[in-house]
């Protein structure tokens, strides 16, 4: 509930801030620096697997032209999820459910037992690519970008009973499970410029990936939201 409330607050507060900031932005930007640097808070939300992670995002960009830039994007976040049989491949899920039924019949598990294995996750994303900018307003820069890159995730299960421990050991014999995969999607946002060199950036990306495809039957859509200060430096390329 606290997480959902914080998300709603951000989604309400950010548009209001943009509307307030838009009042003095009548002219085009006359100063566009060659480089930009960003660092701020970020969250990743993957609702299909119930994973919400908090962390940070960092970016560095080089602008060959005022209307586009090339850059590197990195984020790292951590959070918790709950692994349940419905997330697993059908054959494996049926096998586990059959074992649960046998254990219940043998009175080794309580009636109505439902397998749920909590896990702690750490995700890192890496992306390189272009970004398109719209600089019609003196105090606002709007931008869009493709989101293409790679994601690395490490999940450490924390089973709460003997049966869940045996399942976790089968899925992650070393005590943790890691994976790399590519992702694709799109993103964009806005910079509110307080001066030629300092502003605040609000941005979001929607991407698709299929991490842990050996134990998770479906891929997932993930939203990344980020907000923080941005810094512009270098010569004016306008």
Distance CA 197, CA 234 (A): 9
Spatial separation of the C-alpha atoms in residues 101 and 81, rounded to whole Å: 25
Tell me the pTM: 0.86
Pick 2-236's CATH classification: 2.30.40.10, 2.40.160.20, 2.50.20.10, 3.20.20.60.
2.40.160.20
CA distance 121 to 157: 9
pLDDT in tens, 135-159: 999 999 999 999 999 999 999 999 9
* Domain extents in the chain: 2-236
| Residue 49 near residue 116, CB atoms below 8 Å | no
CA distance to 9, 141, 199, per residue, from 13 (Å): 6, 18, 17
Burial class from Cβ neighbours inside 10 Å (0-12, 13-18, 19+) for residue 5 reads: exposed
**Residue pLDDT, tens place only, 169-179:** 999 999 999 99
Instruction: Give pLDDT tens digits for 70-80.
Output: 999 999 999 99
In the predicted model, is pLDDT for residue 11 greater than 70? Answer: no
């Amino acid at each position: 509930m606290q997480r959902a409330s914080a998300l709603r607050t951000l989604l309400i507060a950010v548009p209001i801030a943009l509307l307030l900031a838009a009042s003095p932005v009548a002219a085009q930007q006359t100063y566009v620096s060659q480089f930009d640097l960003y660092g701020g808070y970020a969250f990743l939300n993957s609702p299909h697997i119930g994973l919400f992670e908090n962390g940070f995002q960092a970016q560095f960009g080089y602008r060959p032209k005022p209307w586009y830039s090339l850059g590197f994007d990195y984020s790292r976040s951590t959070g918790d999820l709950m692994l349940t049989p419905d997330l697993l491949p059908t054959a494996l899920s049926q096998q586990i459910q059959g074992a649960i039924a046998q254990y219940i019949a043998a009175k080794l598990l309580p009636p109505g037992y439902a397998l749920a294995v909590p896990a702690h996750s750490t995700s890192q994303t890496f992306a390189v690519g272009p970004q398109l900018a719209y600089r019609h307003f003196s105090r606002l820069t709007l931008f869009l970008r493709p989101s293409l890159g790679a994601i690395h995730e490490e999940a450490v299960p924390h089973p709460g009973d003997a049966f869940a421990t045996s399942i976790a050991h089968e899925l992650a014999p070393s005590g943790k499970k890691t994976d790399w995969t590519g992702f694709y999607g799109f993103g964009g946002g806005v910079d509110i410029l307080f001066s030629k060199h300092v502003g605040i950036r609000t941005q979001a990306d929607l991407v698709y990936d299929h991490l842990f495809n050996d134990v998770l039957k479906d891929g997932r859509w993930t939203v990344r939201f980020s907000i923080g200060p941005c810094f512009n430096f270098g010569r004016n390329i306008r």
